[in-house]
Chains A and B, each alone.
Chain A
Amino acid sequence: MQANAPATSGNTTINITVFAVFVLITLYVVYRASSRNATASDYYAAGSSFTGPQNGIALSGDFLSAASFLGISGGIAVHGYDGFLYSVGWVVAWLMGLMLIAERLRNTGRFTLGDVLAFRMKQRPVRAAAANATLVISLFYMIAQMAGAGALMALLLDVHSRAGQAVVIAVVGVVMVLYVLLGGMKGTTWVQIIKAVLLLLCVGFMTVFLLGKFGFSLSAILETGARHSPLGADVLDPGSKYGGGALAKLDFVSLALSLVLGVTSLPHVLMRFYTVPNAREARRSVVWATMLMATFYLCTLVIGFGAMALVGSDTIAKAPGGENSAAPLLAFEIGGAVLLGVVAAVAFATILAVVAGLTLTASASFAHDVYANVLKHGNADPRSEIKVARLTAVVVGLLAIVGGIAASGQNVAFLVALALALAASANLPTILFSLFWKRFNTTGTLWSIYGGLSSSVVLIIFSPAMSGAPSSIFPGVDFHWFPLGNPGVVSIPLSFLCGWLGTMLSRSKADPVKQAEMEVRALTGLGSGLK
């Protein structure tokens, strides 16, 4: 069973078949689930009809993305300890969502982040700013996912030509737009649930198999892994990926900070809290998501080192798709072409579902915040608002396809880190200030959103991710002056500072009546119509 190098993509027919079956089943479920998809609440928030556990599974589905399943298991298989270190942040981050965000967001908002941020501020400028942040973050995150789809293709379906990958990206984009148009939030959530359950089963099966093979000893897996790694025993110690000079270390701290503060401030995650009927269910959904994420990343630890032990770091690093190929190669090693087919299909499905969620979020933000509230001053006819939302979904889908094709083959991993840094610096400080700081006002809100947004974008443009390093987007030129790949460590405190300064310097006062309403509502749900 060592002759695995040529079998990276396994049996293409099986992969495509499993994937096609998945798409057909989910399209059917989406169609059935959404026969009644008429009101804005149905389209944006699934009529708030999901239970905590259902939404919790869907929430975890948003993060069991290809980047985390393939990327992190691969990161562990090649970099050992440092891959594991990265995965911890994805779990710890849920505590932010649990204690500070989920319940209060559910109680104060209806469909979008703009609902919450504009609650006690001037509606139009704040909603416009919130929509800007949502659209920028969603688009970056989406392009990263779509480009990832192209890279996966090379690995799993044996599609290597650029034209072939472009076709696949376009197909992914079209199916994803179909999910959103047909299913709205309800359909998209069901796709997430189905996919998350499949992925967890897959990962659970592989983990139990590996543990059994190594006599249920974590130490034995780590030791065998280390023997098959070119780094030897060092692979178990910190530093193989994020070590190096002082800047590399600071860069990692910056990434970890963005991760722990950004994950539950991503707009498509925030929007999930509206799909449940009340704050209690919102809390339950985060508890479920946390448990599933913890289980998943514990499994990833075993799978990563298992792949290192059974497949070998060198083979993985040299396979087409590089690090990302660890989990599929291991699946082939364990369960042959069929298990590989399932893993490949699930990895695909993951991209599809995550991108559909992002498209929905972006379209809701544009239709609900920009169209209905900024352009129509809050007097839009709900039917035309939904029409605008669907149209926006199509436009966003097209943008994602074009962006994905343009970015495919590029090193776009930094886009995910950028989206996290943006969420942690544009959304989180603003949410926390408006929930917990009485004096916070419109000026402060605008300063902290735009301060966080623009500082992150500017710093990333002038970072080594864009220019001046061999791995940059433009390796030939060098206009970088910001030394870190991740702007979080600067932009997050800066955004908090902007929010504070804007509030203190502005002469306008916070509205005490609206503040009372928001505070009472956030803690009790009183007046929100939620039971």
Chain B
Amino acid sequence: MTKAVPHPLETRQTPNSTPNRGRGFATFDEPGKTLLVDDEGYPDFVAIQQTEEFAALRRSALVFIFPATALFLTWYLTYVVASAYAHDLMSMKVVGVVNVGIVVGLLQFVSTIVLTLSYARYARRRLDPQASAVRGLAESVED
């Protein structure tokens, strides 16, 4: 669905430059207005889905989420499987009586916290601005 279907409302300016944006009510803008909305002022989702801005947002989101999910699931399941099947490895002492298993278990906590904070940061810096840009394509019709 990435082929660019020309949409009548495709040419537009950024809404921030549009004076008197709506204040939360459907503003029955005249046709030819720059927002991607349908006749009733509801966002035209099909058109939005095909914009550059939305494609960029989707790409930015998935490029982080899917690899990160694959990574943490693999890392966690490795720990679980190793604990079940690699008894001797996990029982090797590291410091005092603390063994590999406990260290890797604590590392699971560390990796979870690190990944959580990195995602929160990435979302705040990359995804949120991109999402507001997409919202801007139809924003003055927010109900």
Residues of A whose CB lies within 8 Å of any CB of B are 81-82, 84-85, 88-89, 91-92, 94-96, 98-100, 103, 217-220, 222-223, 226, 233, 236-239, 242-243, 249-250, 252-253, 256-257, 260, 280, 283-284, 286-287, 290-291, 294, 297-298, 438, 512-513, 516-517, 519-521, 523-527, 529, 531
If the complex has contacts A88-B79, A88-B105, A523-B131, are A237 and B46 also in contact, measured as CB distance less than 8 A?
no
Contacts of B143 in A (CB 8 A): 527, 529
Contacts of A438 in B (CB 8 A): 1
If the complex has contacts A99-B65, A520-B134, are A92 and B95 also in contact, measured as CB distance less than 8 A?
no
Contacts of B81 in A (CB 8 A): 253
Contacts of A256 in B (CB 8 A): 76-77, 80
Contacts of B95 in A (CB 8 A): 219
B112 touches A85 (CB 8 A): no
Q: List 17 A-B contacts (CB under 8 A).
A: A88-B108, A95-B112, A96-B69, A98-B116, A236-B91, A238-B87, A239-B87, A256-B80, A260-B77, A290-B112, A298-B109, A513-B45, A523-B57, A523-B58, A527-B43, A527-B138, A531-B142
Stretch touching chain A among B6-14, B15-23, B117-125: B117-125
B interface secondary structure, majority: helix
B96 touches A223 (CB 8 A): yes
79-94 of chain B: CB within 8 A of chain A: 79-81, 83-85, 87, 90-91
The closest CB in chain B to the CB of A521 belongs to B45
A interface secondary structure, majority: helix
B45-56 CB mask vs A (1 if < 8 Å, else 0) is 110110000100
**Is B25's CB within 8 Å of the partner chain A?**
no
Contacts of A516 in B (CB 8 A): 45-46, 48-49
User: Beyond the given A236-B99, A520-B48, could you list 16 further A-B residue pairs with CB under 8 A, ordered by the A residue number?
Assistant: A91-B109, A92-B76, A99-B64, A222-B102, A284-B120, A286-B116, A297-B109, A513-B45, A516-B48, A519-B58, A520-B49, A523-B61, A525-B135, A526-B138, A527-B138, A531-B142
If the complex has contacts A88-B79, A287-B117, A523-B57, are A223 and B97 also in contact, measured as CB distance less than 8 A?
yes
The closest CB in chain A to the CB of B115 belongs to A95
B138 touches A85 (CB 8 A): no
Assembled-state Cα–Cα distance A220/B77 (Å) = 29
Contacts of A529 in B (CB 8 A): 142-143
Contacts of A233 in B (CB 8 A): 97
B48 touches A526 (CB 8 A): yes
Assembled-state Cα–Cα distance A277/B120 (Å) = 17
Assembled-state Cα–Cα distance A519/B76 (Å) = 29
B69 touches A294 (CB 8 A): no
Contacts of B58 in A (CB 8 A): 519, 523
Assembled-state Cα–Cα distance A233/B92 (Å) = 12
Contacts of A99 in B (CB 8 A): 64-65, 68-69, 119
Assembled-state Cα–Cα distance A516/B58 (Å) = 12
The closest CB in chain B to the CB of A252 belongs to B84
If the complex has contacts A287-B116, A529-B142, are A91 and B84 also in contact, measured as CB distance less than 8 A?
no
Assembled-state Cα–Cα distance A356/B131 (Å) = 36
Assembled-state Cα–Cα distance A400/B109 (Å) = 35
A526 touches B83 (CB 8 A): no
B119 touches A524 (CB 8 A): no
**Is B28's CB within 8 Å of the partner chain A?**
no
The closest CB in chain A to the CB of B131 belongs to A524
Contacts of B54 in A (CB 8 A): 520, 523-524
Q: Nearest chain B CB to A107's CB is how many angstroms away? A: 10
The 7 closest A-B pairs by CB, nearest first: A219-B96, A237-B91, A517-B45, A249-B84, A516-B49, A516-B45, A256-B80
B135 touches A294 (CB 8 A): no
Contacts of B109 in A (CB 8 A): 88, 91, 294, 297-298
